[in-house]
Chain A
Amino acid sequence: MDVNKTYKGVALQEVLTLLQQHENTSKVIAGGTDLIIQLRECKVTPQVLIDVSSLEEIKGIEIIENRVSIGAATTFTQLVNSPFLNNGLEGLKEAAKSVGSPQIRNIATVGGNICNASPAADIIPPLLVLDSELYISDINKSRTISLEKFLIDKGQVDLKTNELLCHIQFNNIKNNQGLGFSKLGLRKSLAIARISVAVWVEVEENTYKQVRIATGACSKLGVREREVEALLLGKPVEEKTMQLGAEALKTQLEKRLAGRKGMEYKREAIQGVFKEALTKATYLSKT
């Protein structure tokens, strides 16, 4: 059945009411850069579309005390241009900058990228290493869930049909912390990530006090690489540590992608991508 009704929401309450009314027949649309393709290919068949792209309550970036809050309907262009994200968060901006083309970045949203849950989603690895929490509402209540738990499987997230992802929040970055991102695409723009890596570090006395690593396009969804993180914890900032992490990631991919066509390439290439992300994160933690 074709879409026979579309709503353009202007207030959050109104949208949540509509979502409740059309609980099993509706889809939320923001930028539509993924959804329109899925509609054309009949992979989803909603009768009702609820447009949240003009919903001011869930757009834009705010700093609330030590937390950064990103509205789910914030576009990648807005994220890239935001004056509220300080230098340490460069990796987040870089990931946003690497999405598609300027046209796509102008309409595609952070929330859309998360809810579409592509294994190659560019914004997911940096948000994972920031320990992001998602604020989700329906007409009756609100809840929070970590991004990591929210992602269930490829294209599958913990979001009920009457719920809306409203905000993404994480702790603002401190002076001795840095977020680096590196993406391997097959060309310089309009490229889907073959591999992406985000690294978040806290450095004290030239030692990794905290390390968080997430990879994209290396699993059925964006994942935290906790085993590798544990390995680097407390290690000095030096070439050897970087090599240790790179080799550990290689082993992870060998296990995870065993028997798959891309494994042989990815286990090699991820090392270079990881080293770049770690180098950037470390640099940002010192400046």
Chain B
Amino acid sequence: MKKRGIGIGSTFYGTGYGNGFPDVSKAIVELSQEGEIVLYVGATEVGQGAKTILTQMAAEVLGVSVEDITLVCEDTSITPDAGTAAASRQTYNTGNAIKRACENLRDEMIKIAVKQLGLNSSIGVKVENKKVYLNIFPDKKVSFKEIANLQGEETLKTEGIFTAQTTKMDEETGQGAPYWPYTFSVYGVEVEVDTETGLVEITKAVCAQDVGKAINPKLIEGQIDGGFAMGLGYAIFEDLGLHNGEIKHNRFTNYLIPTALDVPDLDKIIIEAPETTAPYGAKGIGEPVMIAVAPAILNAIYNAVGVRITEIPITPERLLKAIKDNGKNKLEEGKI
């Protein structure tokens, strides 16, 4: 018989290294001799979209389009350290460093423009479309190229450093504030359990993810889809087959990961609650999007067949045994 159930799983997750550990990101931005913007950052792209959103942030500060920015990434001989692409920290930590580096460059360019244009102050001076101009009198302007020419051989370069604020928690009591900021996430799933074979199918799913601010909604959806598929595999498929410490499932023939057919359409709800210390309010979601998937699935299984599973992955073999055992217990207790 096939039984359906729904389940919810939710989580809050502290991004960054946390617990008082030094978490530092650095970035450098340069106005090249040709008047082009070059961004140097050691953040690693692992498919999450770091290169895209970090460039978007720089473009936003400097009033140019992303195509106008040359990104130099992942080359340790010329890029400053932006820490690891881990702990869901690049958007928040390195985003902040880039924003600061670009704000510093913008301020430097405004200073030069004020001097060059003979203005009284920097009030009402804007940076946009590769030029610096006075908003109330746009003819008063100087282009990025002209500013670059004024620099001569020595290009204009500014740095941005961001050090995250976290404190070490009390080792005795576990009390304290070891992480900042936190990301919040909720999954709802519907499952169909075959009570004769123990097979579980995820038939519907929805994710509501707090992102602070969606710098790039499409990439966020991609990250949520990826995290969901990974969490689904973690919950019902990926079994190492450990026997006395030996991994028996040591190939993809028996260590199963979900295929496209096993993953249903995921409804994604992006929640924006900007974080004040974050670049444009944006927080990392890389890890958070997979954490609540397995709890939601296990809750849905409980809702469908009334058995509480506390071990993953919940393979058909384990689930069928749990269903049978549950039936026997109820029979003994006289409940059915």
Please give the residue numbers on chain A whose beta carbons come within 8 Å of chain B beta carbons, in ascending order.
184, 186-192, 194, 262, 264-265, 268-269, 271-273, 275
Contacts and interface: CB of A to CB of B under 8 A. Distances in A.
Contacts of B199: 184
A186 B324 CA distance: 19
B189 to A, nearest CB: 17
B307 to A, nearest CB: 15
B248 to A, nearest CB: 11
B219 interface: no
Contacts of B237: 186-187
A273 B259 CA distance: 22
Nearest to A190: B259
A187 B258 CA distance: 7
B262 A187 contact: yes
Contacts of B194: 272
Query: Nearest 8 A-B pairs (CB), nearest first?
Result: A272-B196, A188-B261, A265-B317, A269-B197, A272-B197, A189-B259, A189-B261, A187-B262
B197 to A, nearest CB: 4
Interface residues of B, number: 18
Interface in B162-199: 194, 196-199
Contact of A187 (B196, B256, B320): B256
19 contacts: A184-B316, A186-B256, A186-B315, A186-B316, A187-B258, A188-B261, A188-B262, A189-B261, A189-B262, A190-B259, A264-B321, A265-B317, A268-B196, A268-B324, A269-B196, A269-B316, A272-B194, A273-B197, A275-B196
Interface of B: 194, 196-199, 237, 253, 256, 258-259, 261-262, 315-317, 320-321, 324
A271 B253 CA distance: 25
Nearest to A266: B317
Nearest to A187: B262
B320 A191 contact: no
B241 to A, nearest CB: 11
A187 B259 contact: yes
Contact of B256 (A191, A269, A275): A191
B196 to A, nearest CB: 3
B320 A268 contact: yes
B196 A271 contact: yes
Nearest to A262: B317
A191 B262 CA distance: 11
A281 B317 CA distance: 27
